[in-house]
Amino acid sequence: MGKHEKRKLYWRANVRYLAILLTVWFVVSYGFGILLVDQLDAVRVGGFKLGFWFAQQGSIYVFVALIFVYVVLMNRLDRRFDVDERQGDPTSPTLVRPAAPDEEGPEA
């Protein structure tokens, strides 16, 4: 598989993850917090109506959880396509190595 094809597959998987996670967030924030609020208000959690809770707190909690899910998914994807930031690997393109003493440049 060529480098260009590998990049396209990587990007396609990344966009698929984003689409799925943003759909989940949309359903929770817009669907549960606005469209289904009347049905969810029949259930109470901690004394509050569930629809109110989703509108005020639930979508924020789900968004934060989705950030962590995205990190896990992207780390797996990076390893699968061999673009992860491995510590100590001098061939890793994203690794920032400190300059060696003889590479520091001209002395002032």
pTM: 0.70
| CB hemisphere CA count around 44 (13 angstroms) | 3
Q: How many CA atoms lie within 13 A of 15 on its CB side?
A: 6
The confidence score (pLDDT) of residue 103 equals 54
Q: Give the whole-angstrom CA distance, residue 2 versus residue 11.
A: 14
Q: Domain-by-domain residue ranges, the chain?
A: 3-81
Tokens of 28: 């929770």
Residues 6+ apart with CB under 8 A from 24: 62, 66
Confidence at residue 63, expressed as pLDDT on a 0 to 100 scale: 93
Tens of each residue's pLDDT in the chain, 108 residues: 788 898 899 999 999 999 999 999 999 888 888 888 899 899 988 888 888 888 888 889 999 999 999 999 999 999 998 888 775 565 555 544 445 555 555 554
Give the single-character DSSP code of 105: -
